[in-house]
Structure formats: C-alpha cells, structure tokens
Amino acid sequence: MKLWGGRFSGGQNRQAHSFNSSIGFDGRLYKQDITGSIAHAEMLGRQGIIPQEDASKITKSLESILADIESGALAIDQDAEDIHSFVESELIKRIGEAGKRLHTARSRNDQVALDMRMYVKDEILALKTLLRELLGTLLKLAEGHTGTIMPGFTHLQKAQVVCLSSHLLAYFEMFRRDHDRLTDCFVRTDVMPLGSAALAGTPYPIDRAFVCEKLGFAAISANSMDAVSDRDFCIEFVSDLAITMMHLSRFCEELIIWSTDAFGFVSISDAFATGSSIMPQKKNPDMAELIRGKTGRVYGSLSALLTLMKSLPLAYNKDMQEDKEAVFDAADTAKACLSIFTAMLADAHFNKETMYESAQGGYTNATDAADWLVRKGLPFREAHEIVGRLVLHAIDRKLTLGQLPLTELKAISDTFDESFYEAVKIENSLNARNTPGGPAESAVLAAIKQAGYTLSAM
C-alpha cells in the first residue's frame, strides 16, 4: 500500500519502487516505529482528534503487531516501501477503517525523525554499557601491574621508564572521554520531534508534551522545520563512535606490535588469534587487526553522513533516507569491536620480565641522569648537553649509563660521583616520577583509586 497513491494516475515503475524502498534496512526500526505510533494514537484519542474507541483499537493492534514481529509470527514484507508503510498497512488489515486514522496530524518526516532519535538513544545506552565493561577491565589490569616496569615510547622509540599500569590508565582516560561524549550526545538526541509533521506543524490540537513524556524524552523540538531536517544527532553520534574506534585502533596497534617476536611484551590468547594456511608456526593477532581495519569503516560512515547533509536545503529531502545505513553500520561495528576487544584484553598475558629487560635498554634513564646533574646545581640545558655526550660515549662502549666507570663519567663532567648510579636505576627512575598523573607506584595507586570512583559514578 502506498501512503501517497491518491495523487498518482499510474503505477510506479518496478525498478523505481525498488530504488526508492528503504524497508531492506529501516525494517530494523520496527520497535521504535510502533512504540512511537502507540503514543501518537493515545494522544489523538485523549485530545478527541479521533474517536477514543478507534484510538484504543489502534493501540491494541499495534501492540499485537509488535509482539508478532518479535515472536516471528509476522514477517516484515520486503516489498513494502518502508517500515512506516508496512506497519500502517498491517494495522489497516487487522482493524480496517480505524487504522486509517493513525496518521492524522503526522508525517513520515517527523515519524522517521522520531524513530531515529529513539534508535540512537537506545544505541548510546548499549555502547555506554560496553565502554563501562572495557573501563572495568582496564582498571582491573592496572591494579595488577603497578609494579610492572616497561619502557615508555615517543616516536616509537624508547623514551623513559614507566609502568604498565600507567600505560593502561592512559587508555582508561581515552575511553572515559568516549563515555562522556556519548552522555553529551544523548542530551542532544533526547528531543522529541513528533508533532512537526511534514515541516510546518499541524492545525490539529495535539499534545506534544504528552507524547514526549510517554516516550521518555526530555524535551520537545523547538522548530518544526529543524526537527524534520536535523540529523546533527546522527552525525554527532557517529563522530563519537569514530573517536572511540580511533582509540581502539591505537590500542590494537600496540597489542599487534607488542605481540611480535621483536617486542614480546604481550601474548594474545589463542582464543583471539588465528593461524596461517601455509606457515604452521604462525599465530596472527587477527581480532586486533580487524578492529584496526573496521575503524576505517566507521570513518567512512561519518564521511558519508557529513557529505549527505552538506548541501541540503530546508526541510526534509529524500537524500536523508541514506542516513540510516551509515548510522546502523557504525553502531553495529563499534559494538562488535568493543565487545571483542574487551574479551581479548582480559584474556591477554603481559610478559613482565620481557618488559623489564626492555626498559633497561635504550637509555630510558637519560633524563634522570640530566635531572641528577640539575640537583647538583647545573642548569638543565647544560645538563642535557652533558648527558647527550654521555649517551654517545655509552653507545660507543656498548654499555648502559649505569655500567660506565666513574672515571669515564668524570672525564665528561667533574660533577659525577657515586650517587649517580643509584639515581639511574630504573626502579628509582620510575618512582621518582610521583607527581599526580605520573607513573610512580604511589601516583598510580592514587590514579587507580580515582578511576574506581569515576567508574562507580557512571
């Protein structure tokens, strides 16, 4: 059944029908569509816009349609134009003329805007749950690795001594911000557009506040033209997911590198790896690689939405039908990636001894050597230059800073004495960095405590 057939004298071209149809992807909005229609019908009856008896028939039938779809007793007709047409057509089949009154004071324009807002709200809540699970896993791992010394990197070159807990807590902060962004996005999504009709509202005495409360929205839209043409909330939602995926991809990149023979920092569980069809020794971190790859897929959805909306005049345009697949795919991808990543991370084994040995090399204590000279009274820039020459000498001798004889240290600067060797031990290097946010055990324990408070308040 076409909801707009009266204006047309001939049937629609079959190819045009298929091209125009969105049922193949917007069918997943059936729950939101029916729930919104129930609230709308109740309002129409309460306001006397349609007979109360008809409103009751409509709501009861819609409830039965929803139950039948969810039980599998009713299949969504893939030949329908969209989910709105399918639901209304099924309603009319079941209750006849009364069903034709449902669309009073409503357009598919505000109807689909409502459905999408309800869908995005549901997805935000689901994604926030997955993010909290990941944050909990990160916090648990951090609690167990406050004493796991490792090298920190800049430019993928060894830089300074840190601990694994501090590294994990850096990702805790990233994913906490992702959670916060979704919370903010929810606020802007939580606006009820129904009642805007096609673009100019309706002359019927509707009660938008009733529908708003019935559907659990925080507010009603302020402008009818904006309400039907706004997809900012979709763009913001997918943008937030793109940032989350970027964080997942960064973490996966590190797990991939760390699991190589060259690093050996982590062993990914066999349950989250695959092998080679030709090389029997291979164990590939395919789940991490897939997450890294799927990040581009979510970026593509964001780019598609921005491009879709960039030149649209007010108000609704059929181009906007293309928003759904991008939003659906981004949400599905992000949920799948968060779920598999959290399970993979929880099952990973971090090789403490290898990390410790790696932290001993690469002159990760060079800055501590410079800081030691500063404490002896030298300006930092002079201390930096002295330690630079010291590192060059140590590289030539194939020794660590702590292995250089005192006579060779003094040949570079008379400031050096025996206390230097204690200052450049990596354990002391780590624990000297005890400012808030630093990697020292005391600072990390305080950060873990604060992270626990943050997580429990989410």
Which residues are marked as active site? 155, 276
Q: Are the C-beta atoms of 413 and 404 separated by less than 8 Å? A: no
Q: Apex CA 369: angle with CA 264 and CA 350, to 5°?
A: 20
What domains sit in the chain, N to C, each tagged with a CATH number?
Answer: 16-104 (1.10.275.10), 109-206+223-356 (1.20.200.10), 358-457 (1.10.40.30)
Tens-level pLDDT at each residue, the chain (458 residues): 556 455 666 677 677 777 777 788 899 999 999 999 999 999 999 999 999 999 999 999 999 999 999 999 999 999 999 999 999 999 999 999 999 999 999 999 999 999 999 999 999 999 999 999 999 999 999 999 999 999 999 999 999 999 999 999 999 999 999 999 999 999 999 999 999 999 999 999 999 999 999 999 999 999 999 999 999 999 999 999 999 999 999 999 999 999 999 999 999 999 999 998 999 999 999 999 999 999 999 999 999 999 999 999 999 999 999 999 999 999 999 999 999 999 999 999 999 999 999 999 999 999 999 999 999 999 999 999 999 999 999 999 999 999 999 999 999 999 999 999 999 999 999 999 999 999 999 999 999 999 999 999 99
Report the C-alpha gap between 41 and 62 in whole angstroms. Answer: 10
DSSP output for 290-351: HHHHHHHHHHHHHHHHHHHHTTPPSS--GGGGGHHHHHHHHHHHHHHHHHHHHHHHHT-EE-
User: Structure tokens of 192?
Assistant: 């009820």
- H helices present in 72-163, as ranges: 83-95, 108-143
User: Structure tokens of 361?
Assistant: 């090399």
Report which of 134, 124, 126, 57 is spatially closest to residue 95, judged by C-alpha positions: 57
What is the per-residue pLDDT across 49-101, written as a single tens digit (0 to 9) for each?
A: 999 999 999 999 999 999 999 999 999 999 999 999 999 999 999 999 999 99
pTM: 0.94
User: Structure tokens of 418?
Assistant: 């025996």
Report the C-alpha gap between 100 and 91 in whole angstroms. Answer: 8
Report CA-CA distances (Å) from 397 to 7, 9, 164, 403, 404.
90, 92, 30, 10, 8
- H helices present in 190-319, as ranges: 208-214, 224-229, 232-258, 286-309
